[in-house]
Every structure is written in structure tokens, then in C-alpha cells.
Amino acid sequence: MLLSPKNREVARLFYYEDLSIQEIARQKHLSLPAVKNRLYKSREQLRNYLQTRYPELATRSVKRHHDAQRKKTS
């Protein structure tokens, strides 16, 4: 399974139902940090899956991130 059931539900509500973090917390009886953590973990699980499935994209993404960081410090 790509995302754990708890993370998948929070991600679905956030990205597909357009609920705010506060609305998800209220609906699921979770704290705001818990919702944020589940969204973070969802993104992390998806990123890991995509990096193993499409490794050529992962290297480009890392390069873009490093280039952006370099521009900020210049």
C-alpha cells in the first residue's frame, strides 16, 4: 500500500476535498500538529515511492532544489 490508511485519509481530505488543516482536525478529532504530521508523512511516502519508481526524476528534483538554495544564499 502506497500510503498508510490514516495518512491517506488526511491527504484525501486536504487535496481532494479541499478541507483546511483546521477543518480536518475538527472532523477527525485530531490536533493541528497531528494533521500536519500526517500530511508531511503522506508527502514523504509518496516522494519515496516516486523516487524508487522513477529514479531519473529524483535526481533532477534534487538538482533543482540545490540550485534554488544556491540562488537564495547568493
Q: CA-CA distance, 71 to 62, in Å (whole number)?
A: 14
Residue 70 half-sphere exposure, CB side, CA atoms within 13 Å?
6
What per-residue confidence (pLDDT) applies to 9?
Answer: 97
> Residue 15 belongs to a domain with what CATH number?
1.10.10
Note if the pTM is more than 0.85: no
How many domains does the chain contain in total?
1
pLDDT at position 2, please? 87
pLDDT along the chain (74 residues), means of 10: 91 97 98 98 92 80 60 63
Dihedral of CA atoms 18, 23, 28, 32 in degrees, nearest 10, equals 110
Q: Which three cell numbers stand for residue 60?
A: 533532477
Which range marks the domain in which residue 37 is found? 5-73
